[in-house]
Amino acid sequence: MTELSLPRLPSPSLALTLLAPLALLTACTPEAGSGPTPLWQDEFTGTTLNPAHWGHQTGNGFMNGSEYVAGWGNNELEYYTDRPANVRVEDGQLVITARKEAFTGPAGGTPQTFGWTSGRIRTAGKFSRTYGRFEIRAKFPVGKGLWPAIWMLPEDPSPYASWAANGEIDIAEGWGSKPKQVAHTLHYGGVWPNNTYSGVTAEVPGGVNDWHTYTLEWRPGEIVWKIDGQVTQTKTAWWSAAKNPPGSDADLNPWPAPFDRPFHLLLNLAVGGNFDGNPDATTPDAAEMRVDYVRVYSLEDEARDPGARPDMTYPWTPRPARPALPDGNLVYNPSFDWADTDPRVTPDATHLDGVPQSAFWTLFTLDSAVTLSSDAVQGRALKADITAPGNVNYAVQVRQDGLNIEQGRRYEVSFDAWASTARAMMVKVGGGQDRGYAAYSGEQSVPLGTARTRHTLTFDMKGTTDAAARLEFNLGGAGANAVWLDDVQVRAVGDAAGPRPPAPDGNLLYNAAFTQDVPGDPGIPGVPGTAYWATWEDGASGLSAALQDGEIQLKVAHVNPANNWHVQLNQVNVPLTQDRTYTLTFQGRADTPRSVAVVVGENGGSYARYLNATADLTPTAQTFTYTFTAPVTNPSAQFQILGAVGAPGDAYTLGLRDFRLTPKP
């Protein structure tokens, strides 16, 4: 199910569907000796859920310390309830129902209205176990955006820190849009974002909407998945890091961590998010996940020796690095014009289907439709005609793998890009699956116009050197249109800068009094004195900014009732140190009472929030104070004030001043 204990996930380019090829069903080997011994079961024979076995999880997210992680870390749409309308027991079956309906409930302390409800139950605090056979007979619903799941999380994260160093086992997850397939996945590695996963997509005979028995057999050093008694996947290699970020074998927890501790079971039916995208017109307004039974057995060999740690590849494992081109460019075939007979085109080079002279480039799509071509009129630029954009930006992804991005270096990314209509695309240099799809460059939103334009981005590589990094152009989720790309460059341009030092008064936030103009840092457009600060809006909020007597004033013409991030005041490159405690203060007011979000967190990736609080502003200016402890070292964190929600069409003005962020002694 891929839930984070540190806020996630899921990076929009995480692409959880990038699993191994379809698993072929193989004959089940009969159990030796006396076989499994029954330990725990629920046959759902009563009229209500057994409270001694199961507890409900409700809401649209979870608290991680002081931080609220919305959408369960996966951008999910549903609000889980404990109502019989969403979770009930009937006819000897558990029934979890997802319903399309308006439902208002608290989300991080702020009431919000959601478009879907569903149910999520777990055995945490009631039953957990290390090793054994876990057998669940179930049938899954089908329909775009539905995400039924049978999975396991550690009962106690210690001693392996948090997700995913402490592990996750996904017994069966269904894509509502893929009625004959389920995913079997292990999540492990380092603490997010240094996590990784591996798994397969398995064919389900007859489809997931029929009854099937999903089984997990877990022994020391081995985890086996079965469908209807037939083996679909076996895993014998994984790892868990004791240090974040891990940098060598010495940073590993003892084998077979993390899968040597008690795990509990979860059953839920999610709606929307990163796994299967959001529902569409074909999705039913009500859908049921049914479970006939859950049975857990001990295995006669579950106390066996796990053996020595198997050979594995880690992020720090040396691997051959593809050299830069003579001009320093790490991107091969940068202008989409290398002939296949070019000696630089190796036999293993990827190509874009139907596009001549496209060696070294790759296309990934997710519930989208795009036609790629070489546009001779535009000098052989790559043209992407997007007819179905999908629900997320990585639904259409043009990328190149194999870039050698070295720790401690600064990189410049430049390219020509334009579109048939004004739009934005997300550009990212990051890791692949074995790096948890980390965003080394952050996720950069690049506005495209209709004229060919040169775009340039820079970033410092703070992660472990990655000889297999990826450059991604994420073109999905922005309507049907055409996008052109040409002359793509990624070059090392020097050494990375160290963390930004505090201001002379010790403040980690620069220009806290809104009095500075700095060459090369324009600040908020049209507002002198706002160096180091920025604003952002979703294009429909009518945001304008002004400065008066040291107070930054944000005027919002149109409230977005769905979320509070439609209006933002931001400062990036704020240096934080793992396990250090910080104090944030500022003064704020609003012309009408408004609750805004106060956030310190990651700038990119999953936009993890280390501080996720609120400030209840009134017409009288007040001083607000917060403390938080940084869960990771991040030399370029982001501070944000997120706008208020309200009724559609509401307008308001915020006044903010005297920001101060300092480490506690």
Annotation marks residue 173 as catalytic: yes
- Phi and psi angles of residue 221, each rounded to the nearest 5 degrees, phi first: 80, 5
Annotation marks residue 203 as catalytic: no
Convert the pLDDT of each residue in 213-232 to its tens digit.
999 999 999 999 999 999 99
pLDDT of residue 290: 98
Contact call for residues 315 and 435 (beta carbons, < 8 A): yes
Selecting among 155, 168, 537, 602, the annotated active-site residue is 168
Convert the pLDDT of each residue in 150-180 to its tens digit.
999 999 877 888 888 999 999 999 999 999 9
Residue 410, pLDDT above cutoff 60: yes
Summary mean pLDDT of the chain: 89
Residue 375, pLDDT above cutoff 50: yes
For residue 18, give both structure tokens.
């990038």
Nearest residue to 249 (alpha-carbon basis) of 315, 185, 198, 195: 315
For residue 183, give both structure tokens.
């995913």
pLDDT of residue 477: 87
The total of other beta-carbon atoms located within 10 Å of residue 35's CB is: 11
Strand 181-189 with 87-90, pairing: unpaired
For residue 417, give both structure tokens.
């890009």
User: In terms of pLDDT, which residue wins out, 7 or 447?
Assistant: 447
pLDDT of residue 606: 52
Q: What number is the average pLDDT over the span 361-367? A: 92
In the chain, % of residues over pLDDT 90: 70
How many whole angstroms separate alpha carbon 665 and alpha carbon 662? 9
Contact call for residues 634 and 438 (beta carbons, < 8 A): no
pLDDT of residue 605: 52
Residue 34, pLDDT above cutoff 70: no
Q: What number is the average pLDDT over the span 298-314? A: 94
pLDDT of residue 195: 84
- Residue 196: which pLDDT band, with cuts at 50, 70 and 90? confident
For residue 61, give both structure tokens.
């997210």
How many whole angstroms separate alpha carbon 415 and alpha carbon 453? 8
How many whole angstroms separate alpha carbon 496 and alpha carbon 488? 21
Selecting among 173, 222, 472, 602, the annotated active-site residue is 173
Cα separation values, 638 from 7, 534, 536, Å:
14, 11, 13
pLDDT of residue 2: 58
- Kindly provide the residue ranges of all beta strands, DSSP E only, lying in 191-340, ordered along the sequence: 195-203, 212-219, 222-227, 230-235, 263-271, 286-298
Task: Classify residue 435 as exposed, middle or buried by CB count within 10 Å of its CB (0-12, 13-18, 19+).
Answer: buried
How many whole angstroms separate alpha carbon 261 and alpha carbon 130? 5
Contact call for residues 146 and 283 (beta carbons, < 8 A): yes
Least confidently predicted of 38-52, 209-223, 596-610: 596-610
- Phi and psi angles of residue 71, each rounded to the nearest 5 degrees, phi first: 60, 20
What does the radius of gyration of the chain's CA atoms come to, in whole angstroms? 26
Convert the pLDDT of each residue in 101-158 to its tens digit.
999 988 877 788 999 999 999 999 999 999 999 999 999 999 999 999 999 999 987 7
- Residue 66: which pLDDT band, with cuts at 50, 70 and 90? low
